[in-house]
């Protein structure tokens, strides 16, 4: 799959997961890699980018019997972003669906 495309989809996945609850890095990596084939190393740079762009922020929280974890949480801007990305994705999937099901709307 095209890298650029994959990155866009990955951003949508990460933001969607964070929309439901705050999560720490490893958790995000695990959940996503269970469903999509990705390099685990591609999630962290993306998280940093999302943070730089103001879509997510972070905070540290203790973990049970381990070192503190950095949790990622969605900002207001991030919430807007994820709903916009989801609409785009849905529209994209709909268009592809039309084509692969042999339809032609023109």
Closer by beta carbon to another protein, 27 or else 86: 27
Whole-number Å distance between alpha carbons of 58 and 75: 10
Q: Inter-axis angle of helices 25-35 and 3-20, to 10 degrees?
A: 120
Per-residue interface string for the shown chain with another protein, residues 31-70, x marking contact by CB under 8 A: --x-----xxxx-xx-xx-----------------xx-xx
The two structure tokens encoding residue 38: 């990705």
- The minimum distance between CB 39 and another protein, in angstroms, equals 5
Structural Rg of the chain based on CA atoms:
16
| Footprint on this chain of another protein (rule: CB under 8 A) | 24-26, 29, 33, 39-42, 44-45, 47-48, 66-67, 69-70
């Amino acid at each position: 799959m095209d890298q650029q495309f994959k990155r866009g989809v990955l951003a949508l996945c990460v933001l969607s997961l964070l929309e439901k609850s705050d999560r720490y890095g490893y958790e995000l990596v695990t959940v996503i890699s269970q469903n999509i084939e990705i390099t685990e190393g591609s999630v962290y740079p993306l998280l940093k980018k999302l943070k730089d762009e103001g879509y997510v922020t972070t905070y540290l929280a203790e973990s049970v019997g381990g070192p503190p974890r950095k949790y990622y949480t969605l900002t207001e801007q991030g919430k807007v972003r994820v709903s916009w990305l989801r609409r785009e994705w849905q529209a994209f999937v709909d268009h592809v669906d039309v084509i692969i099901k042999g339809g032609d709307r023109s």
